[in-house]
Amino acid sequence: MIDTQRAAIEFHFPFPRDLSPDIEQAQRHSIAWARQMGLATTDTALRYLEAWNWGRLTGHCLPTARGADLELATDWMTWGFLYDDQFAGPLGNQPARVARITENMIGVLYATSAAPKEDACARGITDILQRLSSKMSAAWMARFRDDLKWYFLGVLRMTTFRNRLSQIDTRTAFEIRRLDIGMGAVIDLIEVAEGFELPEALFGTTQIQTLRQCVIDIVIMQNDVFSLPKDRHQQEVNVVLAMERSENLTTAQALARTSALVDEKVQEVLAVKAGMPAFYETLGLGATDRARMDRYLHCLELMIHGCVYSHAECVRYSTRSEHTQPIAGRGFIQDLHLDAGLELAQALTRTAQM
List of residues 6+ apart from 233 with CB closer than 8 A: 324, 325, 326
**Neighbour tally for 139: CB within 10 Å:** 12
What pLDDT score was predicted for residue 177?
A: 97
In the predicted model, what is the mean pLDDT of residues 247-269? 97
Is residue 87 within 8 Å of 155, Cβ to Cβ? yes
Write the CA distances from 34 to 21, 48, 71, 124, 354, integer angstroms: 22, 12, 12, 8, 40
Summarize pLDDT for 44-74 with one digit per residue, the tens: 899 989 999 999 999 999 999 999 999 999 9
What pLDDT score was predicted for residue 205?
A: 97
The overall average pLDDT reported for the chain is 91
Q: Which of 6-20, 67-81, 126-140, 320-334 has the lowest mean pLDDT?
A: 320-334
Summarize pLDDT for 136-181 with one digit per residue, the tens: 999 999 999 999 999 999 999 999 998 899 899 999 999 999 999 9
- Taking the C-alpha atoms of residue 190 and residue 192, their distance in angstroms, rounded to an integer, is 5
* Nearest residue to 92 via CA among 348, 350, 330: 330
Residue 211: half-sphere exposure toward Cβ, Cα within 13 Å: 26
Q: How confident is the model at residue 1 (pLDDT cuts 50, 70, 90)?
A: very low
